[in-house]
Amino acid sequence: MHPNALLELVAELVANVLKLDAPADAAVSAFFRQHRNLGPRERASLAETVYAVLRERLLWQHLAQSGSGPMPRRLAILAWRGSESFLRSALTPAEGAWLDQSRAIDRSTLAPKLRHNLPDWLATPLLARLGDDEFWRLAAALNEAAPLDLRVNTLKAKREAAQAELAAAGIQAVPTPYSPWGLRVDGKPALNKLDVFTSGAVEVQDEGSQLLVALLAPKRGEMVADFCAGAGGKTLAIGAAMRNTGRLYAFDVSGHRLDALKPRLARSGLSNVYPAQIAHERDDRIKRLAGKLDRVLVDAPCSGLGTLRRNPDLKWRQSPESVAELQAKQRAILASAARLVKPGGRLVYATCSLLDAENEVIANEFSAAHPSFTPLPAESLIEPAMLCEGGFLRLWPHRHQMDGFFAAVWQRQD
């Protein structure tokens, strides 16, 4: 494709995504379906440039003010991720000179928000919580692309065998530092046609998400529920940890999300999983299981701000108002899920948010309102203790090189 034609396509996609009326990954996928003639390298340049625009949107918009031509084209030029010579051949002489001037600016002289690229409502509580030095380390980490983490399905393969199979396909993977089931892959190789993937031996899952399952610690033969199962990444990990015994309920209000679990479930070899769509957290199916389950995981609907390396659009699509709405859902869902837990059973509340408002605040409110649930300190359940803060699991991209996750654990008393 002619360089200028590709640059114009990137600009069109940037304009689409910056409407912020749909998740960025969905907008990019829809765009690729409309342009099936694009090759793998062209698709990579388009997607990576769009994500670069989203990660540092405030910076690019500031620098773009000095340019000329349509704003989406200016943003695409500034954030371009691809061949430099290809980009240069698409630019007019004036655009080339402007790009050089923009790149020569010393970013350390710019206003803080042009360096951290976070909205004020998000930057303020994170700065207050972490302090200046660590806040800037987090901000830098959030503007980097996340690695690709895999979970080895121990029903089908050992970690070393899956690692060797990936190596034979030319894909280098190393064991994740904390999860006993994880492999971390460099780059973004296409996995979906490899035998190691189609056989169900590995699934894509961030290491932090895998650690939530370690915290739940399901045992053989137990009755367990993944209360907000979604597309089932954690469900599959729980089922494997149960060695395909017992009974594992995968509840979700979205039939569409549960449909996405079905092909993954078929690959996994699990037969102990029972997907069930529920109308709401007080559904009759939930009532019938009250007080009967050994373990319940509530991976609650949340802002997703711990996944900004993968989903940078969330910092522009979420707001204080949406977080307040999510808090109301989190309280209601956690209280309902708690009814399922039998005496002596374990309850885990988790989010992929960085905000205290969705994490410690919700957990402490629950503890105060439910004296029959005793908090269990996370550091006594998972190693190393550096993964925990204040009795909770607290994972940070800049500290632990994984998505931001939070989890609280309780045991129900007799």
pLDDT tens-digit series, residues 346-378: 999 999 999 999 999 999 999 999 999 999 999
User: Which whole-number Å values give the CA distances from 207 to 51, 120, 176, in the listed order?
Assistant: 22, 29, 7
Q: Are 302 and 358 in contact (CB under 8 A)?
A: yes
The H-assigned helical ranges of 290-393 are: 314-317, 320-338, 360-369
Residue 231 pLDDT exceeds 90: no
Q: Catalytic site residue 302? A: no
Q: Are 328 and 335 in contact (CB under 8 A)?
A: no
Question: Measured in whole angstroms, how far is the alpha carbon of residue 16 from the centre of its chain?
Answer: 22
pLDDT value of residue 190: 86
Residue 286 pLDDT exceeds 90: no
Q: Which residues of 6-35 are buried (b: 16+ CB within 10 A; e: fewer)?
A: bbbbbbbbbebbbeeeeebeebbeebeeee
pLDDT value of residue 326: 98
- Residue 86 CB neighbours (<10 A): 16
Name the 3-class secondary structure at 35.
coil
pLDDT value of residue 188: 84
Average pLDDT over residues 294-308: 97
Residue 9 pLDDT exceeds 90: yes
Q: Are 230 and 302 in contact (CB under 8 A)?
A: no
pLDDT tens-digit series, residues 20-56: 999 999 999 999 999 999 999 999 999 999 999 999 9
Candidate from 169-183, 187-201, 202-216 with smallest mean pLDDT: 187-201
Give strand pairing partners of 174: 184
C-alpha span between 400 and 394 (Å, rounded) = 10
Report residue 325 as tokens. Answer: 């709405």
Residue 192 pLDDT exceeds 90: no
| Summary mean pLDDT of the chain | 95
Q: Are 206 and 149 in contact (CB under 8 A)?
A: yes
pLDDT tens-digit series, residues 110-168: 999 999 999 999 999 999 999 999 999 999 999 999 999 999 999 999 999 999 999 99
Q: Are 246 and 238 in contact (CB under 8 A)?
A: no
pLDDT value of residue 283: 87
Terminal Cα distance for the chain, rounded: 68
C-alpha span between 363 and 69 (Å, rounded) = 50
DSSP 166: H
CA angle 202, 353, 146 (to 5 degrees): 45
The residue that leads in pLDDT, 281 or 155, is: 155
- The model's confidence at residue 230, banded by pLDDT at 50, 70 and 90, is confident
User: Which whole-number Å values give the CA distances from 159 to 148, 171, 193, 244, 286, in the listed order?
Assistant: 16, 14, 19, 18, 36
Of all residues in the chain, what percent carry a pLDDT higher than 90? 91
- The model's confidence at residue 186, banded by pLDDT at 50, 70 and 90, is confident
- The model's confidence at residue 225, banded by pLDDT at 50, 70 and 90, is very high
Residue 248 pLDDT exceeds 90: yes
Of all residues in the chain, what percent carry a pLDDT higher than 70? 100
Name the 3-class secondary structure at 349.
strand
